[in-house]
Structure 1
């Protein structure tokens, strides 16, 4: 019985192998599905599956699927799947998906998806990776934690984006955007943006460029030269202004301010102190301004500024106790005495708004100048009092120019 069973099984195995050999010979040009490796030394089209590796040394058209590696040394047109990686030594048109690594030495016209790393010489399409995307020339979209392109014409979206050479066109959006290309013609959106020459928009917490031709929006903007607009509380532009000022006015005895930006548009940080024997008043705020040349090749200039200050005095418990504001419009004449020093003076239009249950308490006025307009309102259901005042004043001081 055992002998009969052994003979039967042997015969069955021979028949299965013969049948498989015949079937394989019929579809050999289309499908190769071993459990270890597929490798063909000539042009191939069809489907390959291997737990370890697929390899075609010449052009392949079809699908490769491997838990290890897919590789086509010269050209690829189809799909590649691999848990380990996809490698292609020539032009690729289609789709690569690898949880570990995708690479195409020549170009990708299509898509690369990888959990770890994507690399190609020339990208036309989409690169997406949890880890990194690298392309010599990127014409399309790169999405990943780290994106790098020698030349960009498209979009980079990630945590860190870099463009290294040539003129680049497109959008960089990341926590950190770096462009060392000669010119970036497009948009940088991020926390930190750096570039050589920018023609377009930078928007972030810190924006830095050698030359900015366009719009820069942030908290700190740094540039060697600007032909456009810088909107930031602090703008350090070498061909712009950065001035400290100490001054006296009718409303605050001691005023200090800092201006930065371009002459035609700059931001102001300002503060003031009014101090007497029995009363103290403090103000902090900011504003915008513009200045222009008037005479003697810029030695005499004019300026117009708008500022708004939050005020606290001894009647208030803290800065949030009620409302106490001072808004000003200033028209100044600036006379340069020496390269770093100028005198500044001019009239001011002042508007004071106070609202709280402390307004009617005795306190010295902002100014000894009689107001042009004054309005006071008391609320019957509470102790709250609101007071409006408008008056003409003056402002005079000295400015120190950092450059």
Structure 2
């Protein structure tokens, strides 16, 4: 409590400094004190809109010309501006509001807000807000916002935002955001976003530079930076990194990480390959021409009395060999290096209890457009629960037990074809 009072005292002193340097409206008369019951029933009478004051008490409601000091009341409204400290249910001004505004319902200004404003329902500005705003429901700025906005429901800005917006439900901006937007449900920007967007469900922006993180979906026309989503990332044009179960773009340049990474200018291959120990595999390889993701199915009836199948995911790099080895003699050849994880399944065993981790180094040749062959060595590490250990490797260079897991390591091979 002491700490809170100290902060408020400092803020009050700060507003006092602002007050002492405030420029009074040239057409307004000045009174040090004023007391108002209702508009028209005040120490300034019906002429109250023509007066400014340093100390103002509105017992029920007050409508005055301006404030250059401290105001307390239920309804505090100033026609031209309010500078200083306002405490009330509703604080409002037709011009700008500067200083510290505390309202149980609404702080609003027809022009701009500068300073700190706290309200149970909403803080509003017709054009510009600079400073901190806290609201249980809504913060709105018709022009721009610089600073911090916090709301239980939503933050809105009509043009641009610089700083941080945090809302329990949504953040929205129609033009430009520079900084951080955080929302429990969604962030929406009809213009340009630079910085970080974080939401529990959805981020939508016309143009994004920076990091977009969403629990379900990121959507944008153009993106440069990083998109991370629990389900999908969607963009017309994107450069950087996309991480999600599904990544989609008309044009993409960068690193995709997902089960499905489908790009209009990317690769779309089917791979068929055999590996050591009798595995036969088919995979769908998508991504860019340089970086690919692949999901695959494998089958093996050679290592065990029971039939085995596997489900796998791979991320790797595809490089023309003349570029990788810097030698024009290898035109038409290529190199692939990738890392994969395969879950090996037998009958009714739980999936992901036995995993095969592999690194492949493959050299290949483009036979014709859309058809290539490749082969190379593979480093394999089999990890399975010690109590359910089965003979899923055809030989081991070494094996061991750690953390209730059994490990088998061996060097194998892969040979296959790539189509389309």
TM-score for the superposition, normalised by structure 1 = 0.75
Cα offset, 1:321, TM superposition: 11
Q: Among residues 325, 329, 332, which one is paired with 2:360 in the alignment?
A: 329
Distance 1:359 1:66 in 2: 71
Larger radius of gyration: 1
Do the aligned residues in 1 keep the contact of 2:272 with 2:418 (CA within 8 Å)? Answer: yes
Is the Cα contact below 8 Å between 2:256 and 2:293 reproduced in 1?
no
Distance in structure 2 (CA, Å) of the matches to 1:138 and 1:385: 54
- Which of 226, 245, 250 aligns to 1:219? It is 245
Matched residues in 1 for 2:352 and 2:180: separation?
Answer: 49
Instruction: Please name the residue that 1:271 is paired with.
Output: 297
Map of 2:226 onto structure 1: 201
Return closer, same or farther for 1:99/1:306 CA change in 2, 3 Å cut-off. closer
For each residue in 1:294-319, what CA deviation from the matched residue of structure 2 results, as whole angstroms up to 9, or x when unmatched?
699997644344434343558xx735
Equivalent residue for 2:57, pick from 23, 27, 33: 33
Classify the secondary structure of the residue corresponding to 2:127: strand
Q: Distance in 2 between matches of 1:106 and 1:321?
A: 56
Q: Which deviations, in whole Å up to 9, do the C-alpha atoms of 1:207-242 show, x marking residues without a partner?
A: 222222222233322222222222233322221123
Paired residues of 1:62 and 1:77 also in contact (CA < 8 A): yes
Find the partner of 2:316 among 255, 272, 289.
289
**Alpha-carbon offset, residue 133 of structure 1:** 0.6
Query: What's 1:13 paired with?
Result: none
2:381 and 2:407 in contact (8 A); partners too: no
Matching residue of 1:140: 163
State the 1:285 CA deviation.
2.6
Task: Tell me what 1:395 maps to.
Answer: 415
- Cα deviations by residue, 1:101-132 (Å, 9 ceiling, x for unpaired): 21110211212211111101211111111011
Unaligned runs of 5+ in 2: 1-35, 45-50, 323-327
Kindly state the Cα deviation for residue 173 of structure 1 after the two structures are TM-superposed: 1.4
> Are residues 358 and 232 of structure 1, via their aligned partners in 2, closer, same or farther at CA, if it must alter by over 3 Å?
closer
Looking at structure 2, the residues matched to 350 and 62 of structure 1 have their Cα atoms a distance apart, in angstroms, of 71
> Residues of 1 paired with 2:398 and 2:373: CA distance?
32
Partner of 1:344: 373
Q: Is 287-296 or 237-246 further displaced after alignment?
A: 287-296
Query: Are residue 124 (structure 1) and residue 155 (structure 2) matched?
Result: no
Figure out how many residues of one structure are paired with residues of the other and give that number. 357
Name stretches of at least 5 consecutive residues in structure 1 with no aligned partner. Answer: 1-19, 379-383
Residue of 165, 180, 202 corresponding to 1:155: 180
1:45-97, Cα deviation, whole Å (9 max, x unpaired): 2333332x211111222233222x22110122222222221221112222222
Question: What CA RMSD, in Å, does the superposition of the two structures yield over aligned residues?
Answer: 3.8
Equivalences for residues 174-323 of structure 1 within 5 A: 174-181=199-206, 183-191=207-215, 192-205=217-230, 206-249=232-275, 251-252=277-278, 254-275=280-301, 279-293=306-320, 301-312=334-345, 318=349
Match of 2:32 in 1: none
